[in-house]
Amino acid sequence: MIQIAVFSDIHGNLPALEVVLKDIEQRGIHQKFCLGDLVDFAPWGNEVIERIKTLNIPCLMGNHDERIAFDLPVFPLSRHSEEETEARSVALSIQRNILKVATRSFFLNYLFI
């Protein structure tokens, strides 16, 4: 039986990614796929992307990744308050400032859109 691991929405949370990867390894799963949203919110975007690159895990570009890669603005969503929209903008701004050039190029060169 072939087992495949599919995960997404890491949002820069390296400790959580490491737990997921350890679980996948313990289960003996060799085929891994990421559905995107590697960055935004937690502070380890560079490290998350480096880990995905090192493990050569195919990955789609999530909407949060797209905002970083193409410097897109945050559009208010009807379900979000003004305060939440502002917090989303601040988080995105921080990510844009801490992500290395090489990390940002990952989105443009390696992720499938």
Q: Domain tally for the chain?
A: 1
Closest CA to 10 of 79, 97, 95: 95
pLDDT at 98: 86
pTM of the model: 0.86
Amino acid residing at 67: R
Closest CA to 48 of 10, 96, 101, 102: 10
CATH of the domain at 90: 3.60.21.10
Residue 113 has pLDDT above 90, yes or no: no
Residue with tokens 């350890």: 22
The residue segments making up the domain with residue 19 are 4-109
109: part of which helix (H) or strand (E)? Answer: helix 101-109
pLDDT in tens, 12-54: 999 999 999 999 999 999 999 999 999 988 889 999 999 999 9
pLDDT in tens, 56-112: 999 999 988 988 888 888 777 888 888 988 888 888 888 888 888 877 788 877 666
